Amino acid sequence: MEDWQAAGFGLYVHWPFCQSKCPYCDFNSHVAAQIDQRRWAEAYIAEIKRTAALVPGRTLRTIFFGGGTPSLMEPETVEAVIQAALSSWNAANDIEITLEANPGSVEAARFAGYRQAGVNRVSLGVQALNDTDLRRLGRMHSVTEARAALDIAQASFDRVSFDLIYARQDQTLAQWEAELTEALRLSSGHLSLYQLTIEDGTVFGERHARGLLRGLPTEDLGADFFDLTQDLCNAAGMPAYEVSNHAKPGQEARHNLIYWQAGDYAGIGPGAHGRLTRDSVRFPTAAERTPGLWLAAAESPLGVTDMEHALTPEEQAIEYLLMGLRLSSGISLARLSAMLTHPYPATAIDDLESLGLVHVQEDVLSVTAKGRPLLNAVLEKLVGAL
């Protein structure tokens, strides 16, 4: 068995367009006046076919339309892409097909079409449940619209998740407690709860660098936010299965699990990354980020994806640690050692275990609830010991 098979194979499709750019967002998203959706569909299809030729005969467990704002795609575009994928690989019986959607009324109107196209899971970018904060986050929708979109989504799809951003400017613990309680009530089994991150190269990043972004929580308050979030979600039966992802048992996002469990995935679209194993050698892929350039490359005979530099055993192990330890379920030490081609040194683990930050049970290394908020520091130690 090749290593990736422990987690399986999925397809990520990146749609790089949004209606407007949110001030906190550093995703590869662009605002475009006109988009020729047919041309884009053809380009995606060409790339999917090329990729399938590189890794043929796979069983496709998941497809994920991410962005940008994939809910700006016409249902026909989505359908064409899904069909291309299904005819290029063997679909798993329970294939999960997710589409990220913004909770505006225009998008909600397309939900039926997406369902028809084969989408069976939707992830809605709700972000906040009060209009003041939605505005401060630069979002185009209102709480009323978001709730309506959520209703329609829950009626249209088997599985629906939504995203909230917390630890926002001037947010108090009490406000977040009320908001999250409400969200847990609205949820149908999956929630992504992200602490606001100030990213370089965004409007917030710029303001922050100039000292103009006020009211952000201190490290201690941020930690309190995180703890409160864990408490409320645990009590509601939606514990974190990953740092920022909460689900009722069985409702986890299977596509994202492929990333965290270091499976293989094809990344199609501007700026998309992939990991593909060929003849037991794992290759990272990264596509051109600029939409126009990507489109031109995809339309050229050579295509976008190139697989030149394989990951070294050490890089593979680092990625497995970085991604895998985000999961509450942890990683397999045997798998880690196999990637490394030698046993992982136990001393690094011992130190962290004595601090109560990680836990080892038989083959499984996991980060404890106490260690999770310190994950970066824990990873630095574990990776440093390689």
Partner 1 sequence: MTQLDLIRNFSIVAHIDHGKSTLADRLIQMTGTVADRDMKAQMLDSMDIERERGITIKANTVRIEYPAKDGKTYILNLIDTPGHVDFAYEVSRSMRAVEGSLLVVDASQGVEAQTLANVYQAIDAGHDIVPVLNKIDLPAAEPDRVKAQIEDVIGIDASDAIPISAKSGLGIADVLEAIVTRLPPPKGDRDAPLKAMLVDSWYDAYLGVVVMIRVMDGVIRKGDRVRMMQTNAVYGIDKLAVLKPQMVDIAELGPGEIGIFTASIKQVRDTRVGDTITHERKGCETALPGFKPAQPVVFCGLFPVDANDFEPLRDAIEKLALNDASFSYEMETSAALGFGFRCGFLGLLHLEVIRDRLEREYDLDLITTAPSVVFKLHMKDGEVRDLHNPADMPDLTYIDHIEEPRIKATIMVPDEYLGDILKLCQDRRGIQLDLSYAGSRAMVVYDLPLAEVVFDFYDRLKSVTKGYASFDYTISEYREDFLVKMSILVNEEPVDALSMMVHRDRAEARGRAMVEKLKELIPRHMFKIPIQAAIGARVIARETLSAMRKDVTAKCYGGDATRKKKLLEKQKAGKKRMRQFGKVEIPQEAFISALKMDS
Quote the least distance from Cβ 113 to partner 1, whole Å.
26
Q: Which does 308 bind (CB under 5 to 8 A by kind): partner 1, ligand SF4, ligand SAM, none?
A: none
Choose, by CB under 8 A, the member of 23, 189, 239, 284 that binds partner 1. 284
The tokens of 189 are what? Answer: 């089994």
Cα–Cα dist 274/25, whole Å: 21
Nearest CA-CA partner of 118 in 155, 66, 81: 81
Does 68 bind ligand SF4 (CB under 6 A)? Our answer is yes
Does 330 bind ligand SF4 (CB under 6 A)? Our answer is no
In 162-173, which positions are buried (b, 16+ CB within 10 angstroms) versus exposed (e)?
bbbbbbbeebee
Choose, by CB under 8 A, the member of 67, 103, 267, 330 that binds partner 1. 267
Number of H helices, E strands in the chain: 15, 14
- DSSP secondary structure of 3-62: GGGGT-EEEEEEE-B-SS--TT--SS-B--S---HHHHHHHHHHHHHHHHHHSTT-EEEE
Q: Which does 21 bind (CB under 5 to 8 A by kind): ligand SAM, partner 1, ligand SF4, none?
A: ligand SF4
Q: How many residues line the site for partner 1 (CB under 8 A)? A: 45
The smaller minimum CB distance to ligand SF4, of residues 62 and 102, is found at 102
Task: Please name the residue that has the structure tokens 């249209």.
Answer: 156
Q: Which does 285 bind (CB under 5 to 8 A by kind): ligand SAM, partner 1, ligand SF4, none?
A: none
Does 165 bind ligand SAM (CB under 6 A)? Our answer is yes
Task: Please name the residue that has the structure tokens 């026909």.
Answer: 76
Does 69 bind ligand SAM (CB under 6 A)? Our answer is yes
Q: Which residues pair with 121 in a beta bridge?
A: 98, 159
Which residues 49-68 are close enough to bind partner 1 by CB under 8 A?
66
Stretch that binds ligand SF4, among 64-72, 198-206, 318-326, 339-347 (CB under 6 A): 64-72
The tokens of 374 are what? Answer: 């310190």
For residues 100 and 123, the answer to whether their CB atoms sit within 8 Å is yes
Quote the least distance from Cβ 370 to ligand SAM, whole Å.
23
Measured between alpha carbons, how far is residue 82 from residues 43, 100, 149, 227 in Å? 13, 15, 23, 39
For residues 52 and 65, the answer to whether their CB atoms sit within 8 Å is no
For residues 254 and 61, the answer to whether their CB atoms sit within 8 Å is yes
Does 30 bind ligand SF4 (CB under 6 A)? Our answer is no
Stretch that binds partner 1, among 68-76, 96-104, 179-187, 221-229 (CB under 8 A): 221-229
Stretch that binds ligand SF4, among 67-75, 216-224, 237-245, 256-264 (CB under 6 A): 67-75
Does 319 bind partner 1 (CB under 8 A)? Our answer is yes
Cα–Cα dist 75/112, whole Å: 9
The smaller minimum CB distance to ligand SAM, of residues 100 and 179, is found at 100
Choose, by CB under 6 A, the member of 197, 234, 300, 312 that binds ligand SAM. 197
For residues 122 and 99, the answer to whether their CB atoms sit within 8 Å is yes
Which residues 108-127 are close enough to bind ligand SF4 by CB under 6 A?
125
Hey, what amino acid is at 127?
Answer: Q
Cα Rg, the chain, nearest whole Å: 21
Quote the least distance from Cβ 127 to ligand SF4, whole Å.
8
**Residues contributing to the site for ligand SAM (CB under 6 A):** 24-25, 27, 66-67, 69, 100, 102, 125, 127, 163, 165, 194, 196-197, 199
**Residues contributing to the site for partner 1 (CB under 8 A):** 12, 66, 194-197, 219-220, 222-223, 226, 243-244, 256, 259, 265, 267, 271-275, 284, 286, 315, 318-319, 322-323, 326, 351-352, 355, 357, 372-380, 383-384
